[in-house]
Structure 1
Amino acid sequence: MTLLSYQIFKTVVDHGSFLKASEFLNLTPSAVSHAVSSMEEELGFSLFTRSKRGVSLTNYAKNLLPYINAVLNSDESLRQMISQYNGLQKGNVKLGCFSSVCTSWVPDIVESFKKEYSDIDIEIYQGTYDDVVCWIKNGVVDLGFLSVSSAGNLPITPLYKDDLLCVVPKGFKKAGNTEYVTIDEIRDQVFVSQRESTDADIHNFFRKYELNIKSSCHVVDDLSTIAMVASGFGICIMPELVMGDIPYQVDIYRIKPSEHRIIGLSALNSQFMAPAAKMLYQHIVEMYKTTEVE
């Protein structure tokens, strides 16, 4: 097998189609099909299941994919290192992020980074905490944003303390005229909740205070959650970073005692990243690391 065959395999995986992969690589469909067939013959097992909807990985291929990603990432690292030795700063970096970081931070990160390193391209992968963890472990992305509590056994550099807030419908009746809500005030409320893979820090909050969550809405993104709150389906807990530019009419209260999540930047091994990835890693740390998390 050759590096080209690995690249063809990965492109078919990314596009879910032999035809789309051939168009992306500027190869004929028969050349792509022949490369995959040759790999399958050499490996002794099928890599893809073909159907009218496209192609999907076999179980054998799913186990093989992280190793092929590692080979391709190593090749990219080598190319970047050679460019660096020749006085050039080129390359491609894949960055994983969750929703609120994607909307609040990523545009500024890309813009400021490109001003310094115009020949380094950044690919953005947005998903849940679980998605980003999986992408980092399997080599799909070079580095990714996570909350410290969702990183598991991945190494992570803490960057930013993001306070948790209570979001309620307009006209919500609360005790007193304080600018905060207490745990007891929200204990028996109906909540709009997200899946734990999307909202691990909020579920940790629920467990910490033994809140028995009653919910008729189970959504998967921040904006939908707040839309449901604005429509009177319940209340929710949201990180402050999410609430910067919300188009819905809701009231926001701080929580007493205060709680927060820690946003961090994770990579399998930050010391052995490709040069372009290392530059982006350091750029992000310099932009967002605060003394509050040290």
Structure 2
Amino acid sequence: MTLLSYQVFQTVVGQGSFQKAAEILNLTPSAVSHAIASMEQELGFSLFTRNKAGVALTNYGEHLLPYVNAVLNSDESLQQAIAGLNGLKMGNVKVGCFSSVCTNWMTDIIHSFHQRYPDINIELYQGTYADVSYWIKNGIVDIGFLSLSSAGDLPIEPLYRDPLLCVVPKGYRKREDTPYMTPDEMKDEVFVSQMETTDADIAIFMKQNGLGNVRMDYHVVDDLSTIALVAAGLGICIMPELVMNDIPYAVDRYPMMPEAYRVIGISALNPNFLAPAVKMLYQHVIEKYKIIEEA
């Protein structure tokens, strides 16, 4: 017998009717009848007498009722205990992120979250897109920030659309007198590039816009080194706008035409089954940073 069959039994007793019990439990009358018949078959005796006025407990049913109530009360106590444990708002959450989210968002997220949930600890792991994806898939972190294009088969909740910019040395003279940069203007330039695992969105943009074979003499792994080389006049690069908030070097930047973005999101291996503390942080991030409307 199951808790549902006990709930059906208790509700039929309380309503004195299979039909009314079905309405309360949002079941069909036949489902209620089947549940009671299954109980009676398993127990080996009848629980109800049936007549035109409705149903009434048999002597056996009357003796069984207190025990059924005790089971259901115990289940209710268990559910309340679980809710109480969740309500303690304690725990530890491991978060993976890439550089620009770490420097632009994470301090604010940690401070604001700790104001609401001071007993939940956040552990932070910084790496590339590939690192964060690996950490999520292997349970090293509970949740992580990724770009939409780097998430692969991981579920991801889009949060923020971050424009891609063309970054050039200070005083760079554009070929065209426009406030934006086109792929045609960039195709003959030397690029400072990063690994595709670090900048998947930039690599995709370049391939889609005929920049897949540009000259690349400098291959680095972090944003600051990339901009330092550009500032020194050694080439140009494409960089997300969020990255440029942290750059101390004097460079010029242009929006691109066609417009290009990376979409930043929050990812978890199974967003529907998160530990309570993880779920609280996951929701906190969405409330604080989600600006992309659902399609």
Query: TM (normalized to structure 1)?
Result: 0.70
> Are residues 223 and 87 of structure 1, via their aligned partners in 2, closer, same or farther at CA, if it must alter by over 3 Å?
same
The alpha-carbon deviation at position 170 of structure 1 amounts to 1.2
Q: Secondary structure at the residue paired with 1:192?
A: strand
Cα separation, 2, equivalents of 1:189 and 1:86: 56
Cα separation, 1, equivalents of 2:233 and 2:162: 26
The alpha-carbon deviation at position 210 of structure 1 amounts to 2.1
Query: Is the 1:165–1:253 contact (alpha carbons within 8 Å) kept by the matching residues of 2?
Result: yes
Name structure 2 gaps, 5 residues minimum.
1-80
Q: Secondary structure at the residue paired with 2:245?
A: helix
Post-superposition CA distance 1:62-92 (Å, at most 9, x none): xxxxxxxxxxxxxxxxxxx969427411100
> Are residues 173 and 233 of structure 1, via their aligned partners in 2, closer, same or farther at CA, if it must alter by over 3 Å?
same
Structure 1 vs Structure 2 CA RMSD: 1.5
Match of 1:189 in 2: 189
Cα separation, 2, equivalents of 1:230 and 1:88: 51
The alpha-carbon deviation at position 271 of structure 1 amounts to 1.1
The alpha-carbon deviation at position 253 of structure 1 amounts to 0.5
The alpha-carbon deviation at position 252 of structure 1 amounts to 0.5
Cα separation, 2, equivalents of 1:88 and 1:258: 46
Cα separation, 1, equivalents of 2:87 and 2:152: 38
Query: Is the 2:166–2:256 contact (alpha carbons within 8 Å) kept by the matching residues of 1?
Result: yes
Q: Secondary structure at the residue paired with 1:256?
A: coil
The alpha-carbon deviation at position 183 of structure 1 amounts to 1.3
Q: In the TM superposition, what are the counterparts of 1:77-92 in structure 2 within 5 Å?
A: 84-85=84-85, 87-92=87-92
Cα separation, 1, equivalents of 2:130 and 2:147: 11
The aligned length equals 214
Name structure 1 gaps, 5 residues minimum.
1-80
Match of 2:247 in 1: 246
> Are residues 184 and 84 of structure 1, via their aligned partners in 2, closer, same or farther at CA, if it must alter by over 3 Å?
farther
Residue 92 of structure 1 aligns to which amino acid in structure 2? N
Query: TM (normalized to structure 2)?
Result: 0.70
> Are residues 292 and 246 of structure 1, via their aligned partners in 2, closer, same or farther at CA, if it must alter by over 3 Å?
farther
> Are residues 128 and 112 of structure 1, via their aligned partners in 2, closer, same or farther at CA, if it must alter by over 3 Å?
same
Q: In the TM superposition, what are the counterparts of 1:1-294 in structure 2 within 5 Å?
A: 84-85=84-85, 87-211=87-211, 212-292=213-293, 294=295
Cα separation, 1, equivalents of 2:172 and 2:100: 25
Query: Is the 2:86–2:276 contact (alpha carbons within 8 Å) kept by the matching residues of 1?
Result: no
Residue 275 of structure 2 aligns to which amino acid in structure 1? A
Residue 229 of structure 2 aligns to which amino acid in structure 1? M
Query: Is the 1:169–1:235 contact (alpha carbons within 8 Å) kept by the matching residues of 2?
Result: yes
Post-superposition CA distance 1:98-157 (Å, at most 9, x none): 011000000100000000000000000000000000000000000000000000000100
Post-superposition CA distance 1:4-23 (Å, at most 9, x none): xxxxxxxxxxxxxxxxxxxx
Q: Secondary structure at the residue paired with 2:185?
A: helix
> Are residues 86 and 206 of structure 1, via their aligned partners in 2, closer, same or farther at CA, if it must alter by over 3 Å?
closer
> Are residues 281 and 84 of structure 1, via their aligned partners in 2, closer, same or farther at CA, if it must alter by over 3 Å?
farther
Cα separation, 2, equivalents of 1:152 and 1:108: 27
Query: Is the 2:183–2:210 contact (alpha carbons within 8 Å) kept by the matching residues of 1?
Result: no
Cα separation, 2, equivalents of 1:213 and 1:276: 47
**Larger Rg, first or second structure (1 or 2):** 2
Q: Secondary structure at the residue paired with 1:270?
A: coil
Cα separation, 2, equivalents of 1:206 and 1:107: 32
Identical counterparts, % of pairs = 64
The alpha-carbon deviation at position 188 of structure 1 amounts to 1.2
Residue 233 of structure 1 aligns to which amino acid in structure 2? L
The alpha-carbon deviation at position 209 of structure 1 amounts to 0.9
> Are residues 187 and 292 of structure 1, via their aligned partners in 2, closer, same or farther at CA, if it must alter by over 3 Å?
farther
